[in-house]
Structure 1
């Protein structure tokens, strides 16, 4: 199968899509497909292609130059991304030998999809990371702007031969937004099974780097300590757990609210919170392996239009997860059904502290959750499994009709 892979940002620019793109393209090639990548280059922070893809048989690349535009200038950014769609289509037209199109979601995906429909007329898989406009309905934006965004997203769903999302909740959100259910497919976020995630304590680089003791029960949050992170709830949790001498809260990462959190901890005289700086990407398995319980704190409504991408790695590391999430979500039902961890209400410090105490006091249950999580990840959330699922969807639309 010949696959045209189109993405807005290229490998040279830091993006959460880059790891997924590298693993998908590598996986497609290993499965015997040919891939032509159309991408852009802007910031030149990294190489145009990662080392794993350089010189690969079956891979060809077109890289289009774009300007660096300040994130706060929404209108200019939007126009620049729309312009990229028109530049991209001329390169796509030249590649008449491909069978299917893999189109990564972006704010201006309507223009890419419409141009592909008009000039290329090959089946398109639309890969969705966040349902758009999604939770923006709950934000204070102009109703006409939202209505226009909603109409464009509905048009994209109608033009796509298949729509791939990350979770059951996203299936419902897309269906509610007008996407025909037969076109919807789930390929969840995955962990890279080319790597080792079973990091013993004595070989853990993060442990050695910060000389972390093995005689504590570590409750870990690793990620951005920015505006989306409710540090005040975690601060209340730490206060509720201050009389538990064995329990330590680890906060690993950087962000604009980290200093406020640290100042509050100092002012309260808490000794059960340990702060660490953001660690390199290659250290992620070591970081996650340090925690006994790993936290996934989500903002309200996020779970209905997205999904926590760190979950597969946490489970692969054999960690029980405690998620702050709406309990009526299909995500919460899955965590409970598969016995992967515990879900608590968002911003409920007392419920979160109780869940931590319960797991700390029940090592048998904690071990069971860890074992179930590792097995579930291996069977359902590995790169090998998920790339194969994506290829099956592409093959389905290549044969004709909806996958």
Structure 2
């Protein structure tokens, strides 16, 4: 981390210069857009991460999916799949496992790797949990089935983890129509997306009681509406075609017409491909 004030000031100056020279400025989250907006007097375009909705989709017939991954058909599988670090606050999963030990059909799965995995495995052993499973990253060819196997998906982070980007794991969960439990604070874009579009349940960050209560509510609820809303949100706002079309329209509208045509003419004048077509 850079601590020198002089170097930081130089970098901030370079940032402002680059922003002022750009014809189009985009960002992957609304909070980042607001931060950039105060640094330049220009429109900032929303250009979020997308998800391949053809590669990740709801499996209509899920019979047998759980047994493929070592679980019983009547198990309720709560899945966390992603990076395993300190910022996610994944200890909550283990303490939830302790809370739900009296319900043996409820299984918690932590899938992935990371520097904090051994710490969680040690804590799981200390708590003597038999309902928490650690799995390695799953191959891409079976990942869609693996995600569809789960009844609930955990998207966790600590309160101080920031709100600069929509977690990539959530975009994939939405694409399969998964029911997500997301830790988010009011006033953040993540909270607004979940709450306004009814695509999942919200957990208070770093609040074990909230985690346990919301999970109990989710398990006892009919979640068909959330499943439908999640897939629709992914199709309408997170698919690559939707995002690129929206970005292209916004970007073209934000760039002066003379710049667009002058840059295009320059390319065409130097294009050997165009000359070939002209002589045909």
Alignment TM-score, normalising by the size of structure 2: 0.81
Q: CA deviation at 1:339?
A: 0.6
Q: Does 1:183 align with 2:43?
A: yes
Alignment TM-score, normalising by the size of structure 1: 0.58
Q: How far, CA to CA, are the matches of 1:332 and 1:259 in structure 2?
A: 30
Q: Does 1:315 align with 2:174?
A: yes
Runs of 4+ displaced beyond 6 Å: none
Q: How far, CA to CA, are the matches of 2:205 and 2:132 in structure 1?
A: 20
Who is 1:264 aligned against? 123
Unaligned runs of 5+ in 2: 261-280
Q: Map residues 245-260 of structure 1 onto 2, 5 A cutoff.
A: 245-260=104-119
User: Which has more radius of gyration?
Assistant: 2
Q: Does 1:381 align with 2:238?
A: yes
Aligned residue pair count? 258
1:216-243: per-residue Cα shift (whole Å, max 9, x none)?
2221110111343323233222222323
Q: How far, CA to CA, are the matches of 1:371 and 1:203 in structure 2?
A: 22
Q: CA deviation at 1:360?
A: 0.5
Who is 1:278 aligned against? 137
RCO higher in structure (CA 8 A, sep ≥6): 2
Q: 1:289 to 1:296 in 2, by over 3 A?
A: same
Q: 1:140 to 1:153 in 2, by over 3 A?
A: closer
1:242 match: secondary structure: coil
* Contact residue 162 and residue 393 of structure 1 kept, 8 A: no
Which has a greater percent of strand? 1
Who is 2:273 aligned against? none
Q: Map residues 121-270 of structure 1 onto 2, 5 A cutoff.
A: 141-176=3-38, 178-180=39-41, 182-199=42-59, 200-202=61-63, 204=65, 207=66, 209-270=68-129
Which has a greater percent of helix? 2
Q: How far, CA to CA, are the matches of 2:194 and 2:32 in structure 1?
A: 16
Who is 2:252 aligned against? 395
Q: CA deviation at 1:195?
A: 2.3
Q: CA deviation at 1:303?
A: 4.2
Unaligned runs of 5+ in 1: 1-138
1:274 match: secondary structure: strand
* Contact residue 167 and residue 331 of structure 1 kept, 8 A: no
Q: How far, CA to CA, are the matches of 1:151 and 1:249 in structure 2?
A: 48
